[in-house]
Structure 1
Amino acid sequence: MKENATLFGLTVFRERPVPLASRDPAEARLMFLEHALVRGEYRTRGAFQEKNRQVFERVARLRDKARRSELLDSEAMLTFFDKRVPADVTDGAGFEVWRRKAEAADPDVLVLSMEDALSHDPGLSPAHYPDALKLHGASVPVTYTFDPSAEDDGITLSVPLLLLAQIGPGELDWTIPGWQREKLTALLEQLPRAQRKQLGPLPDLVDLLAKELEPFRGPMIPALARAVSRLCGVDVSEESFRADAVVPYLRITLRVLDERGKELARGRDVDALLKQHGGHARAALRSAAPASDWERKGLTAWTFGELPAVVTRRIGNLEVRSHPALVDRGATVDLVLLETSAAADAATRTGVRRLLMLAARGHVAVSAARMPPPFPSLDGAPPARGQADAFRALVLARGVDDAFKLAPGAPLPRTKAAFEALLRDGSPRIEQAARDWANAVVVTSAELSKTLAALKAASTGPSGAAAVRDIRSQLGQLFPAKLIEWVPFSRLLHYPRYLRAAQARLARAVANPGKDAGKAAPFTPLWETFLARYATVREQEAAQELRWTFEELRVAIFAPEVTTPVSVTVAKVGAALAALR
Structure 2
Amino acid sequence: SAATADLERAGLTDWPEQPVPSEVRVAPGGRPVTVYPALVDEGTSVAIRALRTPVAQRRSTWAATRRLLQLSTPSPLKAVVRQLPARTKLGLQASPAGSVPELLEDCVQAAIDMVLTDGGGPPRDRAGFRALQADARARLVPLTGEMVTLVEPALAAAREVQQLLDAARGLSDDTLADLRGQLQGLVFPGFVSATGRARLPDLPRYLRGMLHRLERIPAAVARDAVAMTRVHAVHDEYRQLAAQLPDDPAVRAIRWLLEELRISLFAQSLGTRGQVSEKRIYRAMDEIAPTG
Q: TM-score when scaled to structure 2?
A: 0.73
CA distance 1:516–1:472, change in 2 (3 Å): farther
**What is the CA-CA distance between 1:525 and the residue it aligns to?**
2.9
SS of the equivalent of 1:298 reads strand
Q: Which has the higher contact order (CA 8 A, sep 6+)?
A: 2
The residue number in structure 2 matching 1:331 is 44
Contact 1:349 1:406 in 2 (8 A): no
2:210 is matched with which residue? 502
3-state DSSP class of the match of 2:48?
strand
* Structure with a larger share of its residues in strand: 1
Kindly indicate whether residue 142 of structure 2 is the aligned counterpart of residue 405 of structure 1.
no
Equivalence for 2:108: 396
Structure 1 position 486, deviation (Å): 2.8
Distance 2:282 2:55 in 1: 32
> CA shift at 1:545, angstroms?
4.2
Pick the structure with more helix per residue: 2
AA aligned to 1:576 is R
What number of residue pairs does the alignment pair up?
A: 274
Q: CA deviation at 1:451?
A: 1.2
Q: Which residue of 1 aligns with 2:236?
A: 532
Q: Partners of 1:320 and 1:503 in 2: how far apart?
A: 53
Query: Do the aligned partners of residues 304 and 445 (structure 1) sit closer, same or farther apart at CA in structure 2, a change above 3 Å counting?
Result: same
- Aligned-pair identity in percent equals 27
Q: Is 2:162 the counterpart of 1:452?
A: yes
Q: Give the counterpart of 1:487 among 190, 195, 198.
A: 195
Rounded Cα–Cα distance in structure 2 between residues aligned with 1:302 and 1:463? 54
> Counterpart of 1:309 in 2: which secondary structure?
coil
List alignment gaps of at least 5 residues for structure 2.
Answer: 287-292
Give CA deviations for 1:318-347 in whole Å, capped at 9, x if unaligned: 877654432222222223444544433322
Pairing 1:564–2:284 present: no
Matched, 1:552 2:260: yes
Contact 1:467 1:516 in 2 (8 A): no
| Deviation (angstroms), 1:426 | 4.1
Name the residue aligned to 2:145. 435
Measure the CA separation in 2 of the matches of 1:421 and 1:367: 23
- Distance, in Å, in 2 between the alignment partners of 1:578 and 1:313 is 40
Normalised by the size of structure 1, how large is the TM-score?
0.40
In 2, are the aligned partners of 1:468 and 1:506 still within 8 Å (CA)? no
- Give the 3 Å change call, closer, same or farther, for CA 430–338 of structure 1 in structure 2: same
Q: Distance in 2 between matches of 1:551 and 1:316?
A: 49
Secondary structure of the 1:489 match is coil
Change (3 A) 1:482 1:352: closer
Q: Which moved more, 1:516-525 or 1:489-498?
A: 516-525
1:520 & 1:339 partners in 2: Cα distance? 45
Residue equivalent to 2:96: 376
The answer as to whether partners of 1:310 and 1:322 remain within 8 angstroms in 2 is yes
Secondary structure, in 3 states, of the residue corresponding to 2:240?
A: coil
Residues 303-382 of structure 1: pairs in structure 2 closer than 5 A: 304-311=17-24, 322-361=35-74, 363=76, 366-367=79-80, 375-376=95-96
Paired residue secondary structure (2:47): strand
Cα distance change of structure 1 residues 505 and 402 upon mapping to structure 2, 3 Å threshold: same
Alpha-carbon distance in 2 for matches of 1:574, 1:524: 12
1:252-311 CA distances to partner (integer Å, 9 max, x unpaired)? Answer: xxxxxxxxxxxxxxxxxxxxxxxxxxxxxxxxx2xx35853x443322223523223245
RMSD (CA atoms): 3.9
* Compared CA separation, residues 436 and 519, structure 1 to 2 (3 A): farther
Offset from partner CA, 1:477-514 (integer Å, 9 cap, x none) = 434666445323222211111222322332343xxx2x
Relative to 1, partners in 2 of residues 1:297 and 1:497: Cα closer, same or farther, differing over 3 Å?
Answer: same
Change (3 A) 1:328 1:368: farther
In structure 1, distance between residues paired with 2:275 and 2:22: 45
Mapped to 2, the partners of 1:499 and 1:365 lie a distance apart of 30
Distance 1:365 1:414 in 2: 32
Paired position in structure 1 for 2:290: none
Larger radius of gyration: 1
Alpha-carbon separation, structure 1, partners of 2:75 and 2:166? 43
**Structure 1 residues 350 and 373 mapped into 2: Cα distance closer, same or farther (>3 Å)?**
farther
Against the structure 1 CA distance between its residues 506 and 358, is the aligned structure 2 distance closer, same or farther, given a 3 Å change threshold?
A: same
Aligned partner of residue 228 in structure 2, secondary structure: helix
